[in-house]
């Protein structure tokens, strides 16, 4: 029997984002510290069996409809297709967020294993700037990866671009043109105060208003109605050139319709991207806990989900973990 999982603000929770590793082959300035990143010991990471067990509980008890694999960089974890096969068996909308650098090799196998969609993060289309943001000269591999994802049918392929003032805010139209030319949905993300360097200030955020105004002036846009619990506000190009979106986490937060919870690579359950407390599901899983025990721990945590984050207010507390450890 499926009962919906409802939080204290009457929002139905049904989307699980699983970070499967904290490791990454990139080191983006806005996501990871420049140095001093210590990877979690392998034995601390949930096994694929443990991940599948938590996912299955969420799907069979509460009817979760979406699972997204993230990281760190999910594709650096060995034998990823095996995990994809296990989770695809649950019949949910199975997606992955990746830096795309290895998709050129992996996309067909992941599609075959049951992955439905990918989102590729890419913050600059200029080689040198890309290398300076990610600390890897890998733009060509990411672009190949996006092409491979499209060819493999991991559709719709989305490209996430975090805009930062003075870093890449002059590439809004380049990304819009890239999306139109390549049949991918570009989504601009407002920079959030989860950067490991602590460089975030309100002035570094390139706002929803600016993005929409800039694109609309060159490629006229029409809003798409019926957003539901989607983080992106969506637009179509009036000339039929496809779709573009803005994730305005800072200036127009969408906490009121949030349906997401998160599981970190080391098995900590988080009821919000910005949560400052976590529930140790790994301890429940590894101490012989039953499915009921795991479910009770999740329900108790969801019972403490808050109304929304407080970015920009004095009450905002930065989570201890960097974005690379939470998964975005
Ligand atoms: N490695 C994968 C990737 O880059 O797509 C998955 C993990 S990454 C942490 C997930 C998403 O979080 C990426 O789209 C990334 O751009 C975004 N992200 C990381 N730090 C961010 C920040 N401070 N503000 C906004 N988005 C951020
Ligand atoms: Fe790695 Fe993704 Fe973070 Fe970049 S954004 S450092 S690719 S986890």
d(CA 43, CA 5): 31
**Torsion of Cα atoms, 208 then 308 then 266 then 99, to 10°:** -10
Interacting residues of 210 by C-beta distance below 8 A, sequence separation 6+? 169, 172
Q: Is the CB of 272 under 6 A from ligand 1?
A: no
Token pair 């570094």 is found at 204
Q: Is the CB of 121 under 6 A from ligand 2?
A: yes
Q: Is the CB of 178 under 6 A from ligand 1?
A: no
pLDDT at 320 over 80: no
Q: Is the CB of 19 under 6 A from ligand 2?
A: no
Q: Could you tell me the distance, in angstroms and rounded to a whole number, from the CA of residue 24 to the centre of ligand 2?
A: 6
Which has more pLDDT, 30 or 105? 105
The beta strand positions in 152-290, using DSSP E, are 158-163, 185-190, 221-223, 233-237, 243-247, 260-263, 268-270, 279-280
CA 326 to ligand 1: nearest atom:
9
pTM for the structure as a whole:
0.96
Cβ burial 100-120 (10 Å sphere, 16+ → b, else e): bbbbbebbbebbebbbbbbbb
CA 265 to chain centre: 14
Least confident span in 7-16, 136-145, 305-314: 305-314
Q: Could you tell me the distance, in angstroms and rounded to a whole number, from the CA of residue 322 to the centre of ligand 1?
A: 10
Instruction: Extract long-range pairs of 134-143: CB within 8 Å, 24+ residues apart.
Output: 134/26, 134/27, 134/28, 134/99, 135/26, 135/27, 135/28, 135/29, 136/25, 136/26, 136/27, 136/101, 138/26, 138/101, 141/100, 141/101, 141/102, 141/104, 142/99, 142/100, 142/101
Partner residues linked to 247 by β-bridges? 189
Is the backbone of residue 288 left (phi > 0), alpha (psi -120 to 50) or beta? Answer: left
pLDDT per residue over 226-275, tens digit each? 888 889 999 999 999 999 999 999 999 888 899 999 999 999 999 998 88
Q: Could you tell me the distance, in angstroms and rounded to a whole number, from the CA of residue 187 to the centre of ligand 1?
A: 12
pLDDT at 46 over 90: yes
Q: Is the CB of 73 under 6 A from ligand 2?
A: yes
pLDDT per residue over 79-92, tens digit each? 999 999 999 999 99
Angle at which helices 80-88 and 103-113 cross, to 10°: 30
Q: Is the CB of 162 under 6 A from ligand 1?
A: yes
d(CA 59, CA 233): 27
Average pLDDT on 282-298 reads 98
List domains and CATH numbers for the chain: 15-326 (3.20.20.70)
pLDDT confidence of 1, banded at 50, 70, 90?
Answer: confident
**Torsion of Cα atoms, 206 then 207 then 213 then 218, to 10°:** 40
Mutate which of 31, 138, 188 to test ligand 1's pocket (most atoms within 8 Å of Cβ)? 31
Q: Is the CB of 27 under 6 A from ligand 2?
A: yes
């Amino acid at each position: 029997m499926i009962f919906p999982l409802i939080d204290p603000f009457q929002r139905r929770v049904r989307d699980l984002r699983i970070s499967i590793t904290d490791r990454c082959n990139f080191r983006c300035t806005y996501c990871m510290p420049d140095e001093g990143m210590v990877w979690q010991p392998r034995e601390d990471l949930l096994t694929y069996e443990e991940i599948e067990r938590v996912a299955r509980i969420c799907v069979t008890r509460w009817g979760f409809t979406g699972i997204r694999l993230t990281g760190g960089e999910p594709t650096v974890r060995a034998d990823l297709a095996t995990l994809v096969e296990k989770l695809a068996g649950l019949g949910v909308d199975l997606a992955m967020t990746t830096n795309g650098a290895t998709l050129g090799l992996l996309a067909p196998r992941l599609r075959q294993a049951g992955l439905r969609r990918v989102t590729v993060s890419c913050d600059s289309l200029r080689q040198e700037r890309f290398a300076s943001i990610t600390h890897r000269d890998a733009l060509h591999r990411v672009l190949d990866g996006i092409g491979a994802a499209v060819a493999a049918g991991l559709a719709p392929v989305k490209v996430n671009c975090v805009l930062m003032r003075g870093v890449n805010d002059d590439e809004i139209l380049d990304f819009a043109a890239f999306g139109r030319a390549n049949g991918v949905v570009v989504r601009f993300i407002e920079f959030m105060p989860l950067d490991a360097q602590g460089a975030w200030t309100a002035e570094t955020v390139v706002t929803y208003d600016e993005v929409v105004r800039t694109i609309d002036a060159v490629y006229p846009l029409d809003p798409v109605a019926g957003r539901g619990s989607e983080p992106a506000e969506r637009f179509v190009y009036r000339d039929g050139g496809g779709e573009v979106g803005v994730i305005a986490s800072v200036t127009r937060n969408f906490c009121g319709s949030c349906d997401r919870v998160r599981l970190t690579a080391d098995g900590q359950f988080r009821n919000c991207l910005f949560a400052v407390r976590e529930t140790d599901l790994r301890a429940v899983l590894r101490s012989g806990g039953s499915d009921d025990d795991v479910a009770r721990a999740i329900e108790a945590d969801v019972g403490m989900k808050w109304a929304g984050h407080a970015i920009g207010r004095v009450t905002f507390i930065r989570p201890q973990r960097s974005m690379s450890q939470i998964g975005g």
